[in-house]
Amino acid sequence: MYTYYLISFFLVILCAGLGIRANMKVNSAYKAYGAMPTRSRMTGYDTATRLLRNNGVKDISVGRVQGTLTDHYHPTKKIVNLSESVYGDDSIASVAVAAHEIGHVIQKKSGYFPYKIRSVLVPLTNFGSRLAIPLVLVGLILDVFVGAMQNSDVGFYLAMAGVALYGLSTIFALITLPVEFDASRRAKKMLVAEGILTEEELPFADKMLDAAAQTYVAALLTSLVYFLRFALWVLMLFGGGRRRK
């Protein structure tokens, strides 16, 4: 058990370090390419509205939210929210971020399959995160008070259902990767096709978007470690899944 906790602690610290490094890389890239004005002089808002219009999207508005790099697309509210640092800024970093969010809009419009899966997983993941631990606790109680008397594994199976629900967050993080990478691919293609960036400016946008993508890789690794840690903890509670005589 001591070895389990030691390895678990080491992996959690490692993932935390990867997450910090990824966020530092994003902030560094945004600082560098946020100081490079585009030759087109288009802002994040200009970029978003042009890409929406030229892709035939008429039911999505562009709003502004507080913060830095808090940009997001809200499909149910039909709005692309750009952060204050992106909305009115004409840097390469800002137009890249704005185009990335429009990439998600185009994914939804075109029925991009991984995007549809992720949309379905959102409510399921939220539900699973709330129910996972209660199911494990109820399963443990049943195992102690019912399983011991009736030699039943119902408590163990209920706890494993909790583990499976907990794992939905890892599946969500996994399916997020192709969604984010594809949105960036679409963004880079649109930026050049619409004349917002030149071919010479594109590599800088690519570096900005690549840095942002690394945060999702770090999030997946962190989610995987926490899932394995949780699953092993539950198995240990139930004696490794073996029925105790």
- pLDDT tens digits, residue range 125-184? 999 999 999 999 999 888 887 755 566 788 889 999 999 999 999 999 999 999 999 999
Closest to 110 in 3D by CA, of 57, 72, 59, 61: 57
Asked if the structure places residue 84 within a domain, the reply is no
Asked if the structure places residue 67 within a domain, the reply is no
Closest to 97 in 3D by CA, of 77, 82, 76: 82
Instruction: Round to whole Å and give the CA distance between 174 and 219.
Output: 9
Asked if the structure places residue 114 within a domain, the reply is yes
Asked if the structure places residue 52 within a domain, the reply is no
- Domain total of the chain: 1
The band of 244, judged by pLDDT with boundaries at 50, 70 and 90, is very low
Radius of gyration over alpha carbons of the chain, in Å?
A: 23
What is the percent of the chain with per-residue pLDDT over 90, rounded to a whole number? 77
Q: Which of 18-22, 42-46, 54-58, 99-103 has the lowest mean pLDDT?
A: 18-22
State pTM to two decimals: 0.88
Asked if the structure places residue 98 within a domain, the reply is yes
Task: Point out the residues that are catalytic.
Answer: 101
Asked if the structure places residue 33 within a domain, the reply is yes
Asked if the structure places residue 224 within a domain, the reply is yes
Which residue range is the domain that position 200 belongs to? Answer: 2-39+91-237
- For the record, the structure tokens of 67 come out as 């913060």
